[in-house]
Amino acid sequence: MTHALPAPVSDGRIHIGPGHPLLVVAGLCIVESAESTLRHAAALKKDLADLPVQFVFKASYDKANRSSIKSHRGPGMEAGLAILKRVKDELGLPILTDVHEVGHCDIAAEIADILQIPAFLCRQSDLLIAAAKTGRIVNVKKGQFLAPTDIVPLVQKVRDSGNPRVTITERGTSFGYHTLVNDFRALPIMRGLGVPVIFDATHSVQQPGGHGDRSGGDRTMVPYLARAAAAVGVDGLFFEVHEEPERALSDRDNALKLTDLRPLLEQVLRIQSALG
């Protein structure tokens, strides 16, 4: 049995889908400071420069869905986007960032090349429509509560708003309490629905709410899942990384150590090459 491949999505600079180099979205969960963000972005750019991948830097200026009201959310829209603009201007990197509110979409789109809809908000029609109308690529994270075929109305909301540039990110499915699992059948199923699919290898090992006031996770599982996704077939991979994950202000347990990303991507590319 074979599954159809999706048509590529492109904004003229970023090309996501069959026939194009693997998209690698990597960076910090949250913008921690200007210095830290620029340092991480520069290190990633250097590490991945000679690999046949497309690199997009990721960081969120605000994370509105933290476990605790005391958790660090980021510097906020104005300050956070100013830092991401520096990454774009000084390092020449395309940017992906989350949007949580309708009113943020147009402002974030002035800086970001890809607007990301968080998993918990993936069915929010007004947010999807507002992101679509910016004309930017819209990456919708599939909710942990959705089946693969449930992405159809999410994708259609973006396309019906006049924007064909939509991708889906798989980040695991809720399985009991504090546990996510991955059904790798979901990747070909969703790609067969005509949309490029990105696999989020770091959020897939998250344990939502696992520590009560924050989420847990197991970063040692990230390489296994990333390699599995490459073997099944995927258009992009998503990683949250940190030079010192144990000191990260968000997602410390599931973030990959920055220096571990390149060796893992080299393995992924060998898998892709072996599969032709």
Q: What is the pLDDT of residues 6-53, one digit of tens each?
A: 999 999 999 999 999 999 999 999 999 999 999 999 999 999 999 999
| 169 assigned to some structural domain | yes
Measured between alpha carbons, how far is residue 27 from residues 5, 16, 161, 202 in Å? 28, 18, 29, 11
| 126 assigned to some structural domain | yes
215 pLDDT band (50/70/90 cuts)? Answer: confident
Q: Give the range among 65-69, 138-142, 189-193 with minimum mean pLDDT.
A: 65-69
Tokens encoding 102: 């309708």
Task: State the pLDDT at residue 63.
Answer: 80
pTM for the whole structure: 0.95
211 pLDDT band (50/70/90 cuts)? Answer: low
| 2 assigned to some structural domain | no
Does residue 207 have a pLDDT over 90?
no
Tokens encoding 158: 């973006």
210 pLDDT band (50/70/90 cuts)? Answer: low
Nearest to 190 by CA among 246, 122, 258: 122
Q: Give the range among 50-59, 70-79, 240-249 with minimum mean pLDDT.
A: 70-79
- Exposure b/e, 25-59, CB count within 10 A at least 16 = b: bbbbbbbbebebbbebbeebeebbeebebbbbbbb
| 179 assigned to some structural domain | yes
| 18 assigned to some structural domain | yes
Task: State the pLDDT at residue 116.
Answer: 98
Q: Give Cβ neighbours of residue 125 (< 8 Å, ≥ 6 apart).
A: 157
CATH number where 210 lies: 3.20.20.70
265 pLDDT band (50/70/90 cuts)? Answer: very high
Q: Give Cβ neighbours of residue 14 (< 8 Å, ≥ 6 apart).
A: 23, 54, 56, 94, 113, 114, 137
Q: Give the range among 1-5, 73-77, 186-190, 234-238 with minimum mean pLDDT.
A: 1-5
Task: State the pLDDT at residue 142.
Answer: 98
What does the alpha-carbon distance between residue 218 and residue 202 come to, in Å, rounded to a whole number? 9
| 1 assigned to some structural domain | no
**For residue 162, which phi and psi values (nearest 5 degrees)?**
95, 15
| 3 assigned to some structural domain | no
Number of domains observed in the structure of the chain: 1
Q: Tell me the pLDDT of the chain averaged across its residues.
A: 94
| 183 assigned to some structural domain | yes
Query: Which residue segment(s) compose the domain that 126 sits in?
Result: 9-275
Task: State the pLDDT at residue 65.
Answer: 73
How does DSSP assign the chain, residue by residue?
Answer: ---PPPPPEESSS-EESTTSPEEEEEEEEE---HHHHHHHHHHHHHHHTTSSEEEEEEEES--TT-SSTTS---S-HHHHHHHHHHHHHHH---EEEE--SGGGHHHHHTT-SEEEE-GGGTT-HHHHHHHHHT-SEEEEEPPTT--GGGHHHHHHHHHHTT---EEEEE--EE-SSS-EE--TTHHHHHHHTT--EEEETTGGGEETTTTSSS-EE-GGGHHHHHHHHHHH--SEEEEEEESSGGG-SS-TTTPEEGGGHHHHHHHHHHHHHHH-
Using a pLDDT cut of 90, give the percent of the chain over it.
86
Does residue 213 have a pLDDT over 90?
no
Contact in structure between 23 and 16 (CB atoms under 8 Å)? yes
Contact in structure between 47 and 261 (CB atoms under 8 Å)? yes
